[in-house]
Amino acid sequence: MRNNAAWLGLSALVIFLDQLSKWWIEANLAHYGVIPVIPHFNIVHLRNTGAAFSMFNQAPSLAFIGLAAAVSAGILAWLRKHPRGETLTAIGLCLILGGAIGNVIDRVRLGHVTDFLDFYWGSWHFAAFNVADMAISVGAGFLILEMLLEWKRGGPRKEL
């Protein structure tokens, strides 16, 4: 294969792990249930109808599904057209793709996204999240890292 489409297996793995973990939560923990794991970390069962950190929770699911579809189409086009060798970018995009699809599956199937990882300090709780959210965040980190490395290598500069 001459393009980055070989990395799609990573997206499939993210989708599988995301859906498996959410299935386990839905099957074994009541809504708003909490399982203390270690200090500062719980497994919880929350339902998010919004975007990250429950932003835009009044927006229709169709808006999030459309956005994820557009992002996914862009990522697939990039993977198909670009030559292999852009490893950090390909990994980052495939992580984002897997995470986006994982959360879209929830929105289509359930009308919300299941979140279950809860980190806290005292009474302050970070927004609960899931495997798909982690993949999206780590994927974005890979893209930022690639941009920084390109800048440090003195990569191509474009005049504005």
Rounded to whole angstroms, the Cα distance separating 113 from 27 reads 15
Any domain includes 160: no
Domain that holds residue 86: 14-22+46-51+59-118+125-153
Give pTM, 2 decimals: 0.86
The answer to whether 94 touches 79, Cβ cutoff 8 Å, is: yes
Catalytic residue (choose from 18, 106, 118, 133) = 133
Residue 40 lies in a domain: no
Q: How many CB atoms lie within 10 A of CB 127?
A: 15
Under the banding of pLDDT at 50, 70 and 90, the label for residue 52 is low
How would residue 160 be classed by pLDDT, with cut points 50, 70 and 90? very low
From the candidates 18, 106, 115, 118, give the one annotated as an active-site residue. Answer: 115
* CA angle in degrees (0–180, nearest 5) for 80-153-6: 20
Active site residue 133: yes
136/111 Cα distance (integer angstroms): 20
pLDDT tens, residue by residue, 25-42: 999 999 999 999 999 999
| 96, 133 contact by CB (below 8 A) | no
- Looking at residue 155, its pLDDT comes to 65
- Is residue 18 flagged as an active site residue? no
Residue 29 resides in a domain: no
- Kindly state the tokens that stand for 15: 């989708």
Counted domains in the chain: 1
